[in-house]
Every structure is written in structure tokens, then in C-alpha cells.
Structure 1
Amino acid sequence: MVRVRLDTDQRREQLLRVGIELLGTQPVETLSVGTVARAAGVSKGLLYHYFHDREEFLVAVVRAATEELVAATEPDVSLPPLVQLERAIDGLITYAEEHAVGYVALVEGRIGIPGVAEVTKAQRERRVESFVEHLARMSPADPQTVRGSAVLRTAIDGQLTFLHQCVLRWLEQRDMDRATLLRFLVNAFLMAMLAANSVDASLQFDVLGASPPFQATVAESGRA
């Protein structure tokens, strides 16, 4: 096999990409340095040039995978609020479908490697902050009031768990079609936000036009 010479950043990115792809198709406990090296067309020694050991490599792969998940669910602020929400949740489902084994391992905490828990916790906190910031911009309330609402943060954090668990169940059971799952998850999120507003009226979410049921579909929102 002819090896392509890449610069340091390109080679590291290639190795992480291979790791993410493998993590999506096989359990992490079977993901060896040799497997990654063969898939990348490099020697084990070269992989160790970029990563101290297997654990450091897997932590880097998990970090890269969580960054991809964040990117896949990042709302497009140029769109109407409800379409933003739909596309963010649709992105989560798509990512879970395309990286099923790795997604399950990440969400269920099966990767028992030091450092992975810290990475996934940081990613979760980032998602909560992102949702809070988007809602702060959408609400007519004072942005600092929205950002400081413990009720809102609790609702969002709980919804992230709910979303992931529903997607995990769907991956295993496939007992509803994808469009129904998407509509259900969007409506559930909206209901949680309205519930937060009912406890903390200073959020002023009742005027966002987010009253469920939200029936728009991906096709209706203009997504190919």
C-alpha cells in the first residue's frame, strides 16, 4: 500500500476521522490501535507518534465525535425559531443513525476510559449553554433574566436526557417511523419550554409562537 505523506495536522485529523468512523460501527472495547492503523493505512508506530497511548487516542476520538454531534445539532439562527428546533433535533437523529454504535456507547456511558466522562460532561454543558443563549435571543424578556433562570436550565438539561433516551430506544426498536419520532421530540421540547414558562413567567416564552402541537415537517421547512 502506498502511503500518502500528510503534514502533522492532516495526519492527526485523518486518524481521528478513521477513529470516529470505526466507533460508529464497532464497540469501543474492540477498537485497537492496530485496527485504526490498518484502516488508516499507517503503521502502529506512526499512530503513537501523534498519540501517547490508546487511551489518549480514544479520548481524542470521543472529543472529536462530540464536536461533530454539536455541529450536527447547531441551530441555524437565520431560520424561524420552530424550524431551528426541528432541524437541530433532526440533526441529532441523523447523527445517531450514521454513528449508531458509537452514539449508543457515548450516551449510555459505556466508554470506561479516564477522561471520556469529562469530555462528554463538557459537551453536555456546552449544549445547555447553547440552547439557553438561543432562547435568550428569541425571548422578548431581558436576556440576562433568561440566562439566569435555573428553571430553564433544568428543563433543557432534562430534555437533552429525554431526547437521547428516546433516540436510543428508537434505534433499538424502530417501532415508529422517523417523521413521527421527529414530530414527537419537537413537541416534547416545546412542552418542556412552556412548562418552564409556567413556573418562571419572566421567561416570556408564551409569546414565541411555540404552542404545541408543532406539525411542520422537514420537507415543509425547505430541507431537501
Structure 2
Amino acid sequence: MTTGVRRRMGVEERKQQLIGVALELFSHRSPDEVSIDEIAAAAGISRPLVYHYFPGKQSLYEAALRRAADELAARFVEPPRGPLGARLLRVMGRFFDFVDEHGPGFAALMRGGPAVGSSTTNAMIDEVRQAAYEQILAHLEVGEPSARLELVVRSWVSLAESTALLWLDGRRVPRAELELQLVHDFAALAAVSAAYDPGMAEILVGILADEPADGPFGDLVTRLVALVPAPGPAPDALPAVPDQRLP
């Protein structure tokens, strides 16, 4: 981020610079706390010049949000190679990289920030969620998802979002554990749905067929098995009951 340095830029170059500066500031503090004066100073231009490119803070905020939304959606793109569990774990790693780097900005994006209720902001949030949803379906190689599969995938995307927001509040759980737990959560949601639906059961069997024992899904099975108490010794045969009948 440049500070206090003036130089001539073309219109589009200057707009992109201001968006980058705003996004950087929003990454460290809530957009509500960042003023146009701070953005202007960080960009090395005057306050009136900021308004020359953007009519107000709201429009600059939305432009920065647009860039953040595009970047976040791109974090869910993953080549469809290898076991699904490993792919999802890499996706979660990139997702939390973004969350870690843009904490307040991520929270503002998902919660609406100063643009709560704005149709533009809500549309951007929905685009990110839809992009994540479509990427997961692509990994599952499903073109027309059933109602249950759609429920599983959209529930998982929502869970990842809410988990990240809660994690930002103090980072009380190690990040790597949360990334793995979210991959396990996907398997758990799919497994529960498979217990009710043959179509989901078929999808789950296909997923697990390609999973190595030391992969994320294999790790989940190991952890669950460890929770099951070992069977105790077989009970001894009951003693014979003496015949109490009268002679």
C-alpha cells in the first residue's frame, strides 16, 4: 500500500488502486471505522480526488467488496483430481487463508457491514455461496442434484461460513483442526442423508471407494471407531435353578 506518494494514474488504474487500498484497510478494521480521509492518505491523494472516482464511501466499499467476493469465490476452485477428502481439505486451507488475511473484511462481506440490507451487497454474498455450491457439485460430478444432495451441500457451505465467523472471534480453536473438522462435517452430513436416501447412499459409496485409509475421511472413521467402547467379556452361563417342587 502506498502512503503519501502522488503520481499521475489513468482513471481505471487509480480506481483499482483505491479499491486495493480500501480493501487493505478493511482487512484490518471494520469498514465502519475506516474514513475516506484515511483511504485518501493511504493512496497518496486528496479527499476530493477520492470522490472524483467514487461518489461516496458506500460505492467504494461495494467496489472493494466486489473484489473480495471474486477472490473468495476463486478459493473454492480446485482441480478435480485425487480423493475428494484431500480436495476439500485444500479448499478449506485456501478459504481460511482468506479469512485469516481479511478478517474484518470477510466479516463485513458475510454480514453485510455498513451495507446491511443493500441489494448489491446481498447479491455479492449470494454469488460467493452459489460459486462454492457449484464447485462442490462439480467435484461430485453431479449435474442435476437431488433435493437431499442440494440440502447437504448448501448446509455445508453455510456451516463453513458460520464456523469461520465464529473462529474470527478470538481464534480459540486451532485453525488446522477446524479445516479438518469441516471436511469431516461434509462426510457426516452426507452419511446422515445417505441413511435416508438411496441416491445419497450411492453417492457416498462412490466417494468412499476412492478414499485412502490415511485421508481425511479415513481419519474420521478412525476417530469414530475409537469412541465406541470395546465389547466386554461374554457373561457366564446362568447357574441352574434347583427344582423347588414338592416331592
TM-score > 0.5, shorter chain as reference: yes
State which of 163, 168, 184 in structure 2 corresponds to 1:166.
Answer: 163
| Partner residue, 2:67 | 64
Q: Structure 1: which amino acid aligns with 2:27?
A: G
The CA deviation at 1:62 is: 1.0
The CA deviation at 1:19 is: 1.3
| 1:117 maps to 2:122 | yes
Q: What do the CA deviations read for 1:10-61 (whole angstroms, capped 9, x no partner)? A: 2222111111111111111122222211111122233223222221111111
Alpha-carbon contact 2:72-2:95 (below 8 Å) kept: yes
Question: Under a length normalisation based on structure 2, what TM-score does the superposition of the two structures give?
Answer: 0.74
Distance 1:119 1:177 in 2: 29
Alpha-carbon contact 2:84-2:139 (below 8 Å) kept: no
Distance 1:175 1:67 in 2: 28
Alignment of 1:118-137 (within 5 A): 118-136=123-141
| Partner residue, 1:139 | none
Consecutive unaligned residues of structure 2, counting only runs of 5 or more, are: 221-247
The CA deviation at 1:8 is: 2.8
| Partner residue, 1:219 | none
Alpha-carbon contact 2:72-2:128 (below 8 Å) kept: no
| 1:97 maps to 2:100 | yes
Question: Under a length normalisation based on structure 1, what TM-score does the superposition of the two structures give?
Answer: 0.81
Distance 2:53 2:139 in 1: 37
Structure with bigger gyration radius? 2
Q: What is the Cα-based RMSD across aligned positions, in Å?
A: 2.4
| Partner residue, 1:7 | 10
Q: Structure 2: which amino acid aligns with 1:120?
A: I
Relative to structure 1, the CA distance from residue 132 to residue 120 in structure 2 (aligned partners, 3 Å threshold; closer, same or farther) is: same
Secondary structure of the 2:28 match is coil
Q: Structure 1: which amino acid aligns with 2:109?
A: L
Secondary structure of the 2:162 match is helix
Alpha-carbon contact 1:128-1:156 (below 8 Å) kept: yes
Alpha-carbon contact 1:186-1:214 (below 8 Å) kept: no
Consecutive unaligned residues of structure 1, counting only runs of 5 or more, are: 137-142, 217-224
Distance 1:183 1:214 in 2: 12
| Partner residue, 1:221 | none
State the identity as a percent. Answer: 26
| Partner residue, 2:185 | 188
Q: Structure 2: which amino acid aligns with 1:130?
A: Q
Relative to structure 1, the CA distance from residue 3 to residue 110 in structure 2 (aligned partners, 3 Å threshold; closer, same or farther) is: closer
The CA deviation at 1:96 is: 1.0
Alignment of 1:200-219 (within 5 A): 200-203=197-200, 204-205=202-203, 206-209=205-208, 213-215=217-219
State which of 33, 51, 55 in structure 1 corresponds to 2:54.
Answer: 51
| Partner residue, 1:108 | 111
| Partner residue, 2:240 | none
Q: What do the CA deviations read for 1:62-87 (whole angstroms, capped 9, x no partner)? A: 11111111122322334542221101
Distance 2:206 2:138 in 1: 17
Distance 1:79 1:9 in 2: 41
